Amino acid sequence: MTLATLTALFGWMTVLNFAMMLFTMAILLVARDWATGFQARLFGLPQDEVNRVFYTWLGNYKLLTLVFALIPYLALRIVA
């Protein structure tokens, strides 16, 4: 695998992960009551707990995306 291919892979992986995160954040902003109510009924959790889990998940997802997608992409761009 060439350096250009790896750079493109990490670049698109970063774009797709951030798009997924923005989509999830938009759903939570627009339809928070529906989304948390649905998940609360599905898993039998209180709605406040579901809110906490959603925001914890989003924070972890953002951190993992930065560490495993964006930082390698930037490192490859610097090397190239």
Per-residue pLDDT tens over the stretch 44-70: 999 999 999 999 999 999 999 999 999
pLDDT at 32 (0 to 100):
94
- Taking the chain, what is the end-to-end CA distance rounded to the nearest angstrom? 14
Residue with tokens 């750079």: 7
Structure tokens at 49: 């707990």
Q: CA nearest 36: which of 49, 22, 17, 19?
A: 49
Per-residue pLDDT tens over the stretch 7-54: 999 999 999 999 999 999 999 999 999 999 999 999 999 999 999 999
